[in-house]
C-alpha cells in the first residue's frame, strides 16, 4: 500500500466504482480500498452467510433455504431505467460485456385497497380500471402534450412554458382528477412525495418521458435488472478500472484520511501503512465528520415461497403504494425479484419493502407493504441514515458521495457521479464510446 497515487477511493459502492473506472480510463493512478471483504458497500448483494452475519450475528442460515452460492441478496433495492443514465454509462464503457440483464416483468400501483398494473401498452391503458372513460380522454390529451413538448421549440408549448408553470397548474389545465394526478406523479414520474406539485413542470415532464421511453424500448416494464444481483454493477466497473491499471484492496481497514497543515489531503493510513495521494473520493461512512443526515429509510428484505398475490405471477415487479393511499407523506415501495434472476434459491422470491421514516415506529410504517406479500418465510429489517456531504470537497480535495436515496432507480446515483466527476476533474463528464471487446481484439491481432 505504501505508494503514490493520484486518487484513493474508499468504499466500493456503485458511485465510487463508476468513478474508479472513469478516472482509470483517463490515465489516473487509482487505489480503491474497502473495509469489507466484498464489493458494493452499503449497496452490496450478499450471499446467505454474509446476510446472516450482517443481520443475525452470524447465526447459521436454515438449511431449507438451499445453497449459499444461489443467493445474491441486495441490501438496497433499485432497478435500472431501460433508457436511463446508468444504461448509457454501462454501454459507453462497455461494462455490459461482462453482465447480463433481465427485464423486470411488471410495474404495479396500489389504489383503493387493490394492486393494479401500470398500463404498458395503449391496449392495457384502455382496459385499465385506474381511470373512467372521460378521465382517460383527458389523460390522453395530457400525455400527448407531454410527448410533443420541447423546451427549445415554442411551437410545441401551446402558450404555456413548463420552465415556469407549476406542475399543479398543468394538471388543473387538463382537468385531471386527484387519483390520476397521484398515478402520474408517483407511478410514472416516480416522485416519492408531493412537493413537486409546487415546482416547475419541466422536471416532471422529463421524468414521465424517461418512464415512457424506457417502457416503449423494453415492453412490460421500464426496468432492467442484472442477473446475480445489483452487486454485479460495482464489480463490473471495478474490473474496468483494473483493466486500466487501478489497484483494488478489499478487507482493508481505513484508519485515517491524512491532511497537511493547509487542510489538503495527502494520503490515507491503514495501520502503520500510508498511501499518498492528491485526492480522495469516499462514501459517507469513511468521512463521518464531513456529512449530515438528511433522512432515515427503513427496508425490510423478505424471503417468500412464491410470487406475491395479485401480480399476475410475475417473477419480478415493482409495486408503488402512493402516500395518499395510506395517509403518509412518502410512498412505500416494494421491489420483487426471484430465482429467475439468480439471486435466491429455487422457487424463492425476494421482496424488499422500503420507505422514508416519518415516525418513531418505522416498523408499523411498512405494514401496508408487508401485508401485500402473502406468507413471509424470513424477514431482515434495517433502518439506515441517508447522508450527504456538507461541503463540495474542493478545499481539502476529499470528495464524499451521497448515500443511495429512497428512489427506486439509479438516476440520482448517476447525477451524483457526474457531479463528483466534475468537482474532481474540473470538467464535465463526456461519455465516449469505449471500444468493444471485438474491436480491441481486432486491433491487437492487426498489431501482431
Ligand X SMILES: *[C@@H]1O[C@H](CO)[C@@H](O)[C@H](O)[C@H]1NC(C)=O
Residue nearer to ligand X on the CB measure, 67 or 435: 67
CA distance linking residue 87 with residue 225, whole number of Å: 11
CA distance linking residue 443 with residue 437, whole number of Å: 10
Residue nearer to ligand X on the CB measure, 37 or 122: 37
CA distance linking residue 155 with residue 133, whole number of Å: 30
Range 269-308, binding ligand X (CB under 6 A): none
Minimum distance, C-beta of residue 46 to ligand X, in the bound complex (Å): 7
Q: x/- contact string, 27-46, with ligand X (CB under 6 A)?
A: ----------xx--------
Residue count, binding to ligand X (CB under 6 A): 7
Minimum distance, C-beta of residue 300 to ligand X, in the bound complex (Å): 22
Residue nearer to ligand X on the CB measure, 69 or 422: 69
Overall residue count recorded for the chain in this entry: 448
Let me know if 407 is exposed, middle or buried by CB neighbors in 10 A (0-12, 13-18, 19+).
Answer: middle
Minimum distance, C-beta of residue 59 to ligand X, in the bound complex (Å): 14
Sign of the Cα torsion 56, 60, 66, 72 reads positive
- Find the helix packing angle between 167-174 and 133-148, rounded to 10°: 130
Q: Which residue is nearest to ligand X (CB)?
A: 69
Q: x/- contact string, 349-388, with ligand X (CB under 6 A)?
A: ----------------------------------------
| Contact between 68 and ligand X per CB under 6 A | yes
Minimum distance, C-beta of residue 113 to ligand X, in the bound complex (Å): 41
Minimum distance, C-beta of residue 264 to ligand X, in the bound complex (Å): 36
Reported in sequence order, the residue ranges of 193-272 that DSSP labels E, i.e. its strands, are 223-226, 247-249, 256-259, 265-270
Range 48-67, binding ligand X (CB under 6 A): 49-50
Minimum distance, C-beta of residue 105 to ligand X, in the bound complex (Å): 27
Closest-CA residue to 414 (of 115, 170, 83): 83
Residue nearer to ligand X on the CB measure, 37 or 153: 37
For ligand X, the binding residue among 26, 58, 62, 69 (CB under 6 A) is: 69
User: For residue 162, what are the CA distances in angstroms to 135, 155, 207, 440?
Assistant: 22, 13, 13, 45
Minimum distance, C-beta of residue 283 to ligand X, in the bound complex (Å): 19
User: For residue 155, what are the CA distances in angstroms to 115, 145, 159, 203?
Assistant: 39, 12, 9, 20
Range 419-438, binding ligand X (CB under 6 A): none
**Contact between 44 and 17 (Cβ < 8 Å):** no
Residues that bind ligand X (CB under 6 A): 37-38, 47, 49-50, 68-69
Amino acid at each position: 500500500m505504501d505508494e503514490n497515487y493520484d486518487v484513493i477511493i474508499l468504499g466500493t459502492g456503485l458511485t465510487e466504482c463508476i468513478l474508479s473506472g472513469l478516472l482509470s480510463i483517463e490515465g489516473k493512478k487509482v487505489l480503491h480500498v474497502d473495509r469489507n471483504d466484498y464489493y458494493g458497500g452499503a449497496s452490496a448483494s450478499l450471499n446467505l452467510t454474509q446476510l446472516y452475519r450482517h443481520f443475525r450475528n452470524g447465526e447459521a442460515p436454515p438449511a431449507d433455504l438451499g445453497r449459499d452460492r444461489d443467493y445474491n441478496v441486495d441490501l438496497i433495492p433499485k432497478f435500472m431505467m431501460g433508457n436511463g443514465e446508468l444504461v448509457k454509462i454501462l454501454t459507453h464503457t462497455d461494462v455490459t460485456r461482462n453482465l447480463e440483464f433481465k427485464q423486470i416483468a411488471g410495474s404495479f400501483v396500489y389504489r383503493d385497497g387493490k394492486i393494479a398494473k401500470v398500463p404498458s401498452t395503449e391496449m392495457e391503458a384502455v382496459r385499465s380500471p385506474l381511470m373512467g372513460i372521460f378521465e382517460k380522454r383527458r389523460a390522453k390529451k395530457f400525455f400527448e402534450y407531454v410527448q410533443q413538448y420541447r423546451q427549445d421549440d415554442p411551437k410545441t408549448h401551446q402558450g404555456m412554458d413548463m420552465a415556469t408553470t407549476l406542475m399543479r397548474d398543468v394538471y388543473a389545465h387538463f382537468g385531471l382528477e386527484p387519483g390520476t394526478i397521484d398515478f402520474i406523479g408517483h407511478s410514472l414520474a416516480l416522485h416519492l412525495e408531493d412537493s413537486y406539485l409546487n415546482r416547475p413542470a419541466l422536471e416532471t415532464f422529463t421524468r414521465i418521458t424517461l418512464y415512457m421511453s424506457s417502457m416503449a424500448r423494453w415492453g412490460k416494464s421500464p426496468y432492467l435488472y442484472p442477473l446475480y444481483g445489483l452487486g454485479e454493477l460495482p464489480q463490473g466497473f471495478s474490473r474496468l478500472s483494473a483493466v486500466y491499471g487501478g489497484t483494488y484492496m478489499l478487507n482493508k481497514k481505513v484508519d485515517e484520511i491524512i491532511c497537511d497543515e493547509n487542510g489538503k489531503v495527502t494520503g490515507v493510513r491503514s495501520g502503520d501503512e500510508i498511501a499518498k495521494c492528491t485526492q480522495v473520493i469516499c462514501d459517507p461512512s469513511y468521512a463521518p465528520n464531513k456529512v449530515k443526515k438528511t433522512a432515515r429509510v427503513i427496508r425490510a428484505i423478505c424471503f417468500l415461497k412464491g410470487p406475491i398475490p395479485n401480480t399476475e405471477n410475475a417473477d419480478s415487479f415493482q409495486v408503488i403504494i402512493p402516500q395518499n393511499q395510506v395517509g403518509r407523506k412518502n410512498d412505500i415501495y416494494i421491489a420483487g425479484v426471484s430465482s429467475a434472476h439468480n439471486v435466491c434459491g429455487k422457487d424463492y422470491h425476494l421482496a424488499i419493502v422500503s420507505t422514508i421514516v416519518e415516525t418513531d415506529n418505522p416498523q408499523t410504517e411498512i405494514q401496508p407493504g408487508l401485508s401485500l406479500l402473502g406468507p413471509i418465510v424470513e424477514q431482515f429489517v434495517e433502518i439506515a441514515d441517508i447522508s450527504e456531504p456538507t461541503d463540495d470537497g474542493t478545499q481539502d480535495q476529499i470528495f464524499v458521495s451521497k448515500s443511495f436515496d429512497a428512489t427506486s432507480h439509479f438516476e440520482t446515483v448517476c447525477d451524483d457521479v457526474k457531479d463528483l466527476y466534475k468537482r474532481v476533474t474540473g470538467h464535465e463528464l463526456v461519455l465516449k464510446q469505449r471500444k468493444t471487446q471485438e474491436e480491441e481484439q481486432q486491433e491487437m491481432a492487426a498489431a501482431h
